[in-house]
């Protein structure tokens, strides 16, 4: 199985499908081809949320503002999965999430020595990054078709466990990483209790839900919180409030989102990706 994800819109993904199908009989499954254009962070977020739901697969993902420059191509092994794409951070959050959730994740330091300082569950232990050497194609603008799709087909045919046998793949000493911003907690100076969490909108989904980096536990069980100065009810489901009303929920990805029942949260809250979301928790 090979999944495909990109910001290519249409019809460029079809050229990748053709290239793959010339090289493999693998089942092809689209993830999405309308990631926010050239927005590596947003795409990395969505890959992290979606790819771990798949059974073992090769995941071809291309959001690549640096196409045609000397940025490397990567193959990342995570459990029984492999991710193929540009060396710009895109693949790492998904790879770590897959490795963390994989029951079969090989974790050599823990398995063999038992002395993993992080307790043996550090997904970094199970994420192996390979550089994939390629010849620059005639055109320097469509590596999805000319570099990454052939690489994904080769990885699929060789098998995720056999990356070491590919002449093009060599363990990468360095690669571009990507981390999502962490929220900060403000505490009561006297008591040390959490008073507020200052977070950020990571992405806005197609429903207009503004998805933040604030963990769901912050709001779960509360009736309401104050978001950027305005009191908003906390609901388990959109229908907790009347149609058109604002609410805060814990989304399907486990983090706080700013929503409107049957409407667009981004518009009602005035929020876009990167905007600050300060959540006051009250007493």
Contact residues for a second copy, defined by CB under 8 A: 1, 3, 5, 8-12, 14-15, 17-19, 21-22, 28-35, 37-38, 46, 49-55, 65-69, 138-142, 145-146, 205-207, 236-240, 249-252, 254, 262
- Tell me the CA distances in angstroms from 48 to 56, 139, 171, 207, 247, one per residue in order: 15, 30, 22, 19, 25
- Nearest distance from residue 31's CB to a second copy, in Å? 4
- Nearest distance from residue 18's CB to a second copy, in Å? 3
CB 35 within 8 A of CB 7: yes
Asked whether the bond before 276 is cis by omega within 30 degrees of 0, the reply is no
- Nearest distance from residue 247's CB to a second copy, in Å? 11
CB 169 within 8 A of CB 132: yes
Return the structure tokens found at 102.
């994989």
- Nearest distance from residue 124's CB to a second copy, in Å? 23
- Quick one: 83 or 196, whose CB is closer to a second copy? 83
- Quick one: 17 or 124, whose CB is closer to a second copy? 17
Return the structure tokens found at 148.
């990454």
- Quick one: 27 or 283, whose CB is closer to a second copy? 27
Name the β-bridge partners of 211.
203, 257
- Nearest distance from residue 264's CB to a second copy, in Å? 9
- Quick one: 130 or 269, whose CB is closer to a second copy? 269
- Tell me the CA distances in angstroms from 41 to 24, 46, 105, 258, 265, one per residue in order: 30, 9, 25, 19, 21
- Quick one: 169 or 203, whose CB is closer to a second copy? 203
- Tell me the CA distances in angstroms from 131 to 72, 162, 201, one per residue in order: 7, 14, 32
In three-state secondary structure terms, 44 is: helix
Please, what is the Cα angle at 94 between 135 and 174, to 5 degrees?
50
- Nearest distance from residue 186's CB to a second copy, in Å? 26
- Nearest distance from residue 50's CB to a second copy, in Å? 5
Please, what is the Cα angle at 90 between 173 and 12, to 5 degrees?
125
- Quick one: 68 or 159, whose CB is closer to a second copy? 68
- Quick one: 67 or 169, whose CB is closer to a second copy? 67
């Amino acid at each position: 199985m090979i999944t495909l994800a990109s910001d290519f819109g249409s019809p460029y993904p079809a050229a990748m499908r053709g290239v793959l199908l010339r090289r493999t009989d693998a089942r092809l499954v689209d993830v999405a081809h309308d990631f926010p254009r050239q927005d590596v962070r947003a795409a990395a977020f969505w890959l992290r949320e979606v790819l771990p739901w798949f059974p073992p697969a090769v995941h071809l993902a291309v959001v690549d503002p640096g196409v045609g420059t000397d940025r490397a191509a990567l193959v990342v092994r995570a459990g029984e999965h492999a991710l193929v794409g540009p060396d710009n951070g895109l693949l790492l959050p998904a790879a770590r999430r897959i490795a963390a959730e994989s029951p079969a994740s090989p974790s050599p330091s823990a398995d063999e020595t038992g002395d993993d300082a992080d307790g043996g569950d550090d997904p970094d232990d199970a994420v192996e990054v390979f550089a994939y050497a390629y010849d620059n194609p005639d055109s320097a603008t469509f590596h999805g078709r000319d570099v990454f799709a052939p690489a994904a087909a080769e990885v699929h045919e060789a098998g995720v466990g056999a990356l070491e046998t590919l002449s093009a793949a060599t363990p990468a000493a360095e690669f571009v990483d990507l981390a999502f911003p962490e929220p900060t907690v403000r505490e009561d100076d006297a008591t040390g209790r959490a008073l507020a969490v200052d977070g950020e909108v990571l992405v806005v989904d197609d429903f207009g839900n503004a998805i933040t980096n604030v963990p769901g536990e912050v709001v779960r069980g509360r009736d309401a919180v104050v978001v950027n100065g305005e009191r908003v009810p906390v609901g388990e489901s959109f229908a907790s409030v009347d149609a058109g009303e604002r609410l805060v929920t814990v989304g399907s990805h486990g983090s706080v989102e700013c929503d409107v029942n049957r409407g667009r949260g981004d518009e009602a809250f005035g929020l876009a990706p990167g905007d600050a979301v300060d959540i006051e928790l009250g007493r």
